[in-house]
Amino acid sequence: MSNLPIDDGYAASNDPSHSGQGSPASNSEALQGVVERLTYHSEETGYTVARLKAPRTSELVTIVGSFANIQAGQTLHLEGMWRDHPKYGQQFQVVKYRETKPATITGIEKYLGSGLIKGVGPVTAKRIVAHFGLETLEIIENQIERLQEVPGIALKRVKMIQQAWTMQKAIKEVMLFLQGHGVSTTYAVKIYKQYGDDSIDIVTRNPYQLAIDVYGIGFVTADAIARNLGIDPGSEFRYRSGILHVLSEASDDGHCFLPQAELVERVVNRLAVADHQPDPEEIQTLTTQMALDGELVLQGGSDQFEGQFICYSPPFYGAEQGMADRLTRLLAHDLSVDLPRVQRWIDRFTEKTGLQLSAQQRQAVEMAASHRVLVLTGGPGTGKTFTTRTIVALWKAMGKTIALASPTGRAAQRLSEMTGREAKTVHRLLEFDPSTMAFKRDGQNPIEADCVIVDEASMLDLFLANSLVKAIAPQAQLLLVGDTDQLPSVGPGNILGDLIASEKIPVIRLTEVFRQAQTSQIVSNAHRINKGQFPQLELVSNQPQTDCLWINAPEPPHGVQAIRDVIVDLIPKLGFNAARDVQVLCPMVRGEVGTRNLNQVLQQLINPPAPDKSEMTRGGTTLRVGDRIIQQVNDYNREVFNGDLGTICAIDPDEQEVMVQFVERTVKYDYADLNEISLAWSITIHKSQGSEYAVVILPIYMQHYLLLSRNLIYTGLTRAKKLAIFVGPQKAIGFAARQIKDQQRYTLLAQRLMKAIDSP
């Protein structure tokens, strides 16, 4: 959302990564014009490349600099100097600027229709300006009720425009203040929504509060604001916030806690600045004080940590200990069943279906009849699906009510298809209530089912798993199904692995690959990779003989071109639809063969611009009707969660809203909240967990070597249902297959289970 026209200029803080930007030179020149379009805009630094229509010239001028906020249609007064870029030609390097009210009808129309005001898009702007001409902005400022004179604008729309215009005035002050203290104005609207007219007061008094309250603003930004406001880098206030921040960073790597010595070391390194070096003893003393204040939990270390203390954020400690306690209670008493009767039912079921259970599968079904908690694990082709379906049939025959769930919408949909019964996401099963920011289903109000099955359990992180176990009724049964060789959860913990490692939870591990699965090279290669062997790959041709292909593209530029060729030529020839069937999975976001670049490439190939497709550009990224997107964070109010995939089905520039169709329903996003989603023609392998795609393309390069590992490419490969295509050099694929990078996550769930169950 753009700010109102401002009369006071302020220096653009230049992006240090771009040379040639500095203080105004003595030969500084002035330039004025209307922004026609943005070529590039960084939300993080404000660095912008735009095209400007200057008076008395027919050619557009390229302007380069850092802008607090910039929209097509704005009239800008610029100060700076001309320079010749060796590649892009003449550019105007902006050092200082101010925004002025548009002076022409065309400028006013562009300005109003740029997304400045909710309720006014290009069509409405054209009508308003056609009616009021050059007086348009004056009318909106002082006589806004007159907008009803414009055909098609009713009183309800006028009130919406008035509210948005008034908010702009307040937001302008907030944005100017934040820009002056190092905050990207991308978050100005969110800050204003959070704090309203108190925004500046709160930010001035306690900038670290932003890291807690406003998504997208972390400790780093809050710390920069604090420095600009003159807060002492050695203040206890900063240290406390820094300690919590380091623990939060550790949770992003999957850790549930840190050993105290490691926490202190990380904090000292994290909070060190040029003019200040924290004292480790002071940090250690403060962690003890924070434990007394309830901000941390310190626990005596086990032998694993040589007796030292370990440090938790309280919610992590509560979730880990609580889950161990609840599982212990569930495991205390198995159900009494007539096992011979169960065995006779299995015989009749297999005879009726004409399908036989292996000894391992049969054991799993028999155990499911009586065990309160059971883990079923195994790789692709080992029959987890058929075993699960048989267990569902058994429980149904026993007269039990059954609830099915999976961590993602796609996985839940697949679970529903394979069992013929309704399956929900775990969040929906637990019935999240946005008004209380908590699940309705818990220990006092458990899930109304005798048996609960959760598929893709390797994706469960500590908090979701704890909430799930909390909501299992005291007499109910829980079956967790998953593949421990996949990547662990994106969130903290290693739930499935810890449950198995505890040796206190009954586990059936399926190892036999069935004959029909052996014909699939996807399945065969998944097992080869798990053994550290190079997969057997067929070079891509127009008539492939297997379902696992390879393009030997030695360098990243060759890989990008190879992916283009596959999308344009091979995919249609094989009868697939790129928009519906293909997913590109990458080890990382950055780089030429990272998701960020490939999304731009694939968007142009699969969903190019067209007259009948609405689109909008924000932060240098274009979103278009028909684009596949991914949810980047858990949004409990909208009930969409990290990793959910959807498709943009509508864009409304007047209401400043984007509608996204997910598996279960359509969700509305305000423009201000679009940093929650991103293009998903290409996503990371981590984000693909729990999903399956007809065709998977896997670019694997040594530039990803820090992330390359056996379970990474195993996870990516096993997302493919019908066809997998590796792109990259043999060296990188082989390196990944050999690398075992099961990063040790700091968790104690397994030990807590062992201790709780072994205690008298």
* Strands (DSSP E) found in 535-594: 538-539, 548-551, 582-586
| Binding site, annotated residues for ATP | 381-385
Residue type, 547: D
Phi, then psi, of 439 in degrees rounded to 5: -80, 140
Residue with tokens 């060729």: 565
CA 747 remoteness from chain centre: 23
Orientation of helix 280-292 relative to helix 236-252, angle to 10°: 80
Question: CA neighbours within 13 Å on the CB side: how many for 58?
Answer: 0
Annotated binding site: 381-385
Closest CA to 461 of 424, 495, 497, 502: 495
Compute φ and ψ for 101, nearest 5 degrees: -70, 140
631 sits in which H/E element: strand 628-631
Residues in the chain: 760
With beta carbons less than 8 A apart as the criterion, state whether 395 and 501 touch.
no
**Closest listed residue to residue 345, CA positions, set 422, 272, 398, 405:** 398
Find out whether 739 and 711 touch, Cβ atoms under 8 Å: no
CA 662 to CA 521: how far, in whole Å? 31
Q: Report the relative pairing of strands 258-259 and 451-454 from DSSP bridges.
A: unpaired
Structure tokens at 463: 């908090």
The strand pair at 423-425 and 666-670 is best described as unpaired
Structure tokens at 326: 């609840």
Cβ pair 485, 713 in contact under 8 A: no
Helix (H) or strand (E) holding 751: helix 749-758
CA of 16: how far to CAs of 20, 21, 324, 591, in Å?
A: 9, 8, 50, 20
Tell me which H or E stretch contains 656: none
| Residue of 369, 404, 1, 18 whose CA lies nearest to 164 | 1
User: CA dist 393 to 371, 372, 386, Å?
Assistant: 16, 17, 11
- The set of residues, in sequence order, having a beta carbon less than 8 Å from that of 412 and lying 6+ positions away, is 404, 405, 406, 423, 424, 425, 455, 663
Q: What is d(CA 382, CA 360) in angstroms, rounded to the nearest whole number?
A: 10
- H helices, E strands: number in the chain: 28, 30
